[in-house]
Amino acid sequence: MRLTGKVAAITGGARGIGHSTAVKFAAEGAKVAVCDINADLTRQTLEEIRARGGEAEGFKVDVTNKEEIAAMVKSVMHKWGRIDCVVNNAGIVMDAQLKNMTDEQFDRVIDINLKGVYNCTRAVVDIMLAQQSGVILTTSSIVGLYGNFGQTNYAASKFAVIGMTKTWARELGRKGIRANAVCPGFVATPIVSKMPDKVLQEMVGKVPLGRLGRPDEIASVFAFLASDEASYINGAVISVDGGMTL
């Protein structure tokens, strides 16, 4: 198991890509802090991990709340004594064309998708520096590479986390800390499943592989990047999109 002995904190860890990542990390031997604002889904994720023999603890974490983040970090350090990886996965969409977008829509998405990544990474970086090792992983999006109609706020946040990732890779690489971003394409998550069938079919039609991605396919990339097998990958931005952006 490629993550045996490692400790990982995963935000948005109770649903979609985050859920699959938490389950995958535990299956690969990591001790997992499942961080999410939804207590019921967090509990279900913990039950799934533990039923498979994995080790995990759940934490209510709003990534805009520094006190909740600090409490999670303190608890993880008390229980496991280290943090080897943070997966910044929590995020939301509040779509609207620019002429219709409200300040609240823009600010809320930026606060969670961008500032939340900063908050969580800032909370663990001193620990990683003291360890002289660590991995910072962030969920961006193909929208963070190419933009998308009706997603001024979301695209801005996903472009920005790539910039932060590259900056952290430069700053922290010499300290033994790697930072990488993953850009999922169209993935069959609860958000996507709510879209009309016609829109879904149009999305699938743009993918050379002819289907939506699965959350576990994104989770597998995160698990590889968190492992020692990816020890020379730093500052990378990896698209996992079925070839859609070719």
Domain ranges of the chain: 7-184+216-240
The two structure tokens encoding residue 161: 């986390």
Q: How far apart are CA 127 and CA 123, in angstroms?
A: 8
- Per-residue pLDDT tens over the stretch 133-189: 999 999 999 999 999 999 999 999 999 999 999 999 999 999 999 999 999 999 998
Torsion of CA 137, 140, 142, 144, to 10 degrees: -130
In this prediction, residue 202 carries a pLDDT of 87
In this prediction, residue 190 carries a pLDDT of 77
Q: How large a percentage of the chain has pLDDT more than 70?
A: 100
E strand map for the chain: 7-11, 31-36, 55-60, 85-88, 134-139, 177-184, 237-240
E strand map for 3-121: 7-11, 31-36, 55-60, 85-88
The helix (H) or strand (E) run that includes residue 26 is: helix 16-27
The helix (H) or strand (E) run that includes residue 155 is: helix 152-172
Whether 154 is a known active-site residue: answer yes
CA-wise closest residue to 203 among 162, 237, 245: 245
- Per-residue pLDDT tens over the stretch 90-143: 999 999 999 999 999 999 999 999 999 999 999 999 999 999 999 999 999 999
E strand map for 41-101: 55-60, 85-88
In Å, how far from its chain's centre is CA 168? 16
In this prediction, residue 193 carries a pLDDT of 72
Characterize the bridge pairing of strands 177-184 and 237-240.
Answer: parallel
215-226 and 16-27 helices, crossing angle to 10°: 50
Average pLDDT in the chain:
96
In this prediction, residue 191 carries a pLDDT of 72
The helix (H) or strand (E) run that includes residue 75 is: helix 66-80
Q: How far apart are CA 3 and CA 25, in angstroms?
A: 7
Beta bridge partners of 166: none
- Per-residue pLDDT tens over the stretch 68-100: 999 999 999 999 999 999 999 999 999 999 999
Q: How far apart are CA 109 and CA 112, in angstroms?
A: 5
In this prediction, residue 83 carries a pLDDT of 98
The helix (H) or strand (E) run that includes residue 161 is: helix 152-172
CA-wise closest residue to 164 among 121, 102, 212, 216: 121
- Per-residue pLDDT tens over the stretch 16-33: 999 999 999 999 999 999
Check pLDDT > 90 for residue 196.
no
Asked if residues 9 and 34 have their Cβ atoms less than 8 Å apart, the reply is: no
Q: How far apart are CA 16 and CA 128, in angstroms?
A: 27
Question: What's the DSSP call for residue 241?
Answer: S
Catalytic residue among 118, 146, 154, 232: 154
**Looking at the domain 7-184+216-240, which fold is it?**
Rossmann fold (3.40.50)
